[in-house]
Structure 1
């Protein structure tokens, strides 16, 4: 059966009403009773996947996806980062977002203790755990020093991407999460919805109308001490200020992104000089994570039309100038659910709302993995159903996936899609 998929959105010949109609019609497939009640298989061209250690693991075959006429499931590559005292938070996020189809890179920066890093490594490599058996999680042993508002955060992100490109070549999207983030739906839902999207789509909340940020971010010159010292001491401000660049246009937005593998290969391998030029420019730029990838994508003709102007995160900001996200609590739970976003930022450590998300949205118990179609064990109060597992190519999306479906269809609407790309 011929596979259905959305038309490639970089083709300017598609009329807006037709694009919207096709997108909406195809996403109706996501709510088929058969899919929601019985799950689906990945229409994989190969039944094997390579883990981080170069070993081929049989993930099972099956033609169930072909029978349903559903597209191939993607693979996601996560970077989960934290600092001192965040080891337990990173572990909880990993358990919440874990799926054997995906890849995970965990990074505790140089401020974290070696003991924290070692405990995290022991957990993911334990032969007694499901995560250890699949071997698709890595912990960075040689940690980077990270200054949150400096370019060392961009360097750490690019480092993570380079490792994932080398160790796990068959992923489709890269997602960055911090210790204060948390998922709002199971991975089965996200994989299912993303299987309908073009693989070169980039989720970047961005704008060239930078307003007050021109004087507070673009014109000042900062020096990140993390580039020169082994201990974090913040950033330094130069007396001089610089003019706005003339050879490229600045874009700014959210530091939280979901980026495609083709775009990140361009950023890391750089067959065009633009990524390197901008990397040098952003070395002295305040909060460079809020502009680097955005400016690269919007200044290159191959990637301008691949941007979706949304970061797929639920974030509540403080009062103007809205520089800092507030800590989410139980009072924000209903809004989070209605947003349709797959992730939220940011939460205080062990806030009660995380337990509510586990119970109501992820259906997981504390210290258990989020169950999916690959988990075939019987759930119990003290027993993780994922300790007994079947094929990771089998996903069973829940009704939660309709929330993400609705959001994606809205973002693909002609009034929201093209008109908000790199503007």
Structure 2
């Protein structure tokens, strides 16, 4: 049996909340969250994958910098989800506009909107799944997420440019329209916006506690609670996942390459001057927590190997495979007195999951670059 649509225009939407004023009001909030999310996301990407010309200029201070920016990245991305859904609700009747295409320019405009909506939905929901470390797709998340971010921002700027006359007409409170609508139209615009703001506040407060310590008790829906983990600190990549075992560490020693190469056993490392710092682990998934670390300054090891005050470092992990098995550290990080080859966490010997016998801890650094199970350190 075949079903055909009756001739003529489709459904008419009478509710006045599906209008440019409502869409503009929500769009202002959505644009702000997208801007924060995009800016902090680009910063995170360059901290993780710095081009050669930038590596020596990435700042190691403030030591809590990455904790703040990545927390903002994840929080703004989660907050953007209800805002995007509300925005789509306000404008979806335009999908049924008749005729669907009025001209070539109108077709291009609709195509740009389709790209913007598809890219934004893809970006926000894949980013949300990343916070849970769940990747039900065949592609590499990091480069695709980074590339689509630029598509979203390009499409958003084009959309704002095309719609600017309408946005300008409805941007301020004294613009045409009214906040009070007839009762027959259901909730008025003010009530709708209050409801959207409440939804954004709810998802923010109940997830931000994974990176904002003061909100930790309210983090009911946060993907990760920093309050739980081995030695009081969560673990993303375990020793089992990295295929590092206690048996493989029986004859462990640190090899330091440079003009004056040398090796150190764990006992010899413990005999060197020890320094204690309090630094956060801040992961790309958004969670972070400060901890007390004890170990040997990386710059002291580089100096002993013949590295000058401008030398970089390359760190090689004992893990069998992984995207961050080899980590390069720019000059400012390598020479910062807070950057340690850590041997203890909270006054205790590192657990195997936290990188025993030695790991890197550095200020203002993504967690994936705080290399665990260090086997080799090189002067670059």
TM-score range, shorter chain: under 0.3
TM-score, length-scaled by structure 2? 0.25
Which structure: larger Rg?
2
> Structure 1 length normalisation: TM-score?
0.23
Structure with greater helix share of residues? 2
